[in-house]
């Protein structure tokens, strides 16, 4: 996937304060739908998938979640980024009984399942680097877009 076009500035949200996990997922997915990246069915599909297959990841810097749905709900690939003002609880990927406070949400809309692992690998490099995550957490909106695009193309 050409990662240069993976992010959309209109889908980068900073200091969001909406409510719990489902409300935040609905908000982000709704914005993706409004911009035509996903089908209307994506909104509910991503919430339902998160309940069955949680995506919370405890990392050194901040808790991260990578919610997504099946490609059938996607029109065009994009990653939405949400940096929360106050972290919210997500269940941990692969250990649903455990919870993690999440500050960063990277909502994936991948239109080709073969590209899914490639995207996750590129994102995991960012998640696992405390200095990158701390840098991104302190940046302004436009700079978040620029830095993420830069790191995804390394």
Query: Domain residue spans in the chain?
Result: 3-152
Cα–Cα distance, 154 to 150 (Å, whole number): 7
| Cα dihedral 136/5/117/127 (nearest 10) | 0
Res 6 pLDDT > 70:
yes
Cα–Cα distance, 42 to 3 (Å, whole number): 21
Contact 65, 56 (CB under 8 A): yes
User: pTM to 2 decimals?
Assistant: 0.92
Res 70 pLDDT > 50:
yes
CATH superfamily of 3-152: Mannitol-specific EII; Chain A (3.40.930.10)
Q: How confident is the model at residue 113 (pLDDT cuts 50, 70, 90)?
A: confident
List, in sequence order, the alpha helices (H) in 11-100: 21-34, 40-52
Query: In the prediction, which pLDDT does 104 show?
Result: 96
Contact 54, 93 (CB under 8 A): yes
Cα–Cα distance, 66 to 98 (Å, whole number): 16
Res 3 pLDDT > 80:
no
- 117-147 confidence digits (pLDDT tens): 888 888 888 988 999 999 999 988 889 999 9
Res 4 pLDDT > 60:
no
């Amino acid at each position: 996937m050409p990662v240069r076009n993976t992010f959309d500035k209109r889908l980068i949200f900073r200091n969001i304060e909406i409510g719990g996990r489902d409300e935040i997922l609905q908000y982000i997915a709704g914005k993706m739908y409004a911009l035509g990246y996903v089908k209307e069915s994506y909104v509910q599909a991503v919430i339902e998938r998160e309940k069955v297959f949680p995506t919370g990841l405890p990392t050194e810097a901040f808790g991260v979640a990578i919610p997504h749905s099946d490609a059938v709900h996607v029109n065009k690939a994009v990653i939405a980024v949400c940096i929360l003002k106050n972290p919210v609880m997500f269940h941990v990927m692969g250990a649903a009984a455990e919870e993690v406070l999440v500050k960063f949400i990277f909502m994936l809309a991948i239109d080709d399942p073969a590209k899914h692992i490639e995207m996750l690998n590129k994102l995991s490099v960012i998640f696992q680097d405390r200095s990158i995550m701390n840098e991104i957490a302190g940046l302004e909106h436009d700079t978040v877009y620029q830095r993420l695009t830069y790191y995804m193309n390394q």
